[in-house]
Amino acid sequence: MKRKHNLRDSGLQLTRSWRGALPAGGRDALRQFLILLACYAAYDVARVAVRGREAVAQANAQVIINAEKALHLYVEPFIQGKASHVHALVVFMDWFYANVHISATILVLVWIYLYRHETFGFFRNVFLTMNALSMVVFAMVPVAPPRLVPTSGVVDTLYLYSTNNYHSGVMSFVTNQYAALPSLHIGYALFLSLAVWLLTTNRLARLLAAVYPVLVFAAIIITGNHYVLDVAAGVVVLAIAFAVNYGLAPQSVPEAITVSTRDRDA
């Protein structure tokens, strides 16, 4: 009986210790989690909205391809073709594309919440604005990625080389196949990179932050999931999100992203 009480007391102490480690308590952490979960739910709504509009998505993709050709930017088949000579590179890019995007986003958001909590509200709002703008475009202008356009000259490497592809398993139910424009992969990558650069001066962290968007760009092109113009659109959406949130609270943003001397090497 005494042992049961000891176990219960230990559990309560662990729970209190965990809650105490949260900057604003357990309720706030739960609230932030639910807000971000609602953001994903909105993505799911946009995914459902494009069902039955595959022909429109294909036509929009052809418009992008033609525009890139006119601008001499249609390099996707060339890049994928060169990468295909190194099988290990393609396999790595397949894995990177399928597994790192969400996990890296969660990791950095949790880091901001726990260790740079005073800035979390600003970065969360930028993240939510970026997603909201993208969801509207996804629902109104579905675009098929290069891998789904038969005349693009680009193949679906995830289907060819990876068991974690869009045609089976969990990914077939949680991804929007016609959300190429804008590229949230590059939008998220630049968002995370910018947040890390603003919130720490740790050299290794900044190096990883600088390299990460480059790897994401390589992955989304080599796997046939985005066009160069998708990347440009992703940058624009992120820029708008930052501008909107800076405009809403200009006096608080500079102070919010200032790193104190104590935290400089964290």
pLDDT of residue 41: 80
| SS3 letters across the chain | CHHHHHHHHHHHHHHHHHHHHCCCHHHHHHHHHHHHHHHHHHHHHHHHHCCCCHHHHHHHHHHHHHHHHHCCCCCHHHHHHHHCCCHHHHHHHHHHHHHHHHHHHHHHHHHHHHHCHHHHHHHHHHHHHHHHHHHHHHHHCCECCHHHCCCCCCCCHHHHHCCCCCCCCCHHHHCCCCECCCCHHHHHHHHHHHHHHHHCCCHHHHHHHHHHHHHHHHHHHHCCCCCHHHHHHHHHHHHHHHHHHHHHCCCCHHHHCCCCCCCCCC
Question: Which pLDDT score, from 0 to 100, does residue 11 have?
Answer: 44
pLDDT per residue rounded down to tens, the chain (266 residues): 555 545 454 444 444 444 557 877 888 999 999 999 888 887 777 766 667 788 999 999 999 999 999 999 999 999 999 999 999 999 999 999 989 999 999 999 999 999 998 899 999 999 999 999 999 999 889 999 999 999 999 999 988 876 555 554 444 445 668 888 999 999 999 999 999 999 988 999 999 999 999 999 999 999 999 999 999 999 999 999 999 998 887 655 645 455 554 444 45
Query: What's the pLDDT tens digit per position in 79-90?
Result: 999 999 999 999
In this prediction, residue 97 carries a pLDDT of: 93
- Structure confidence at residue 169 (pLDDT): 46
Q: pLDDT tens digit string along 159-184? A: 887 655 555 444 444 566 888 899 99
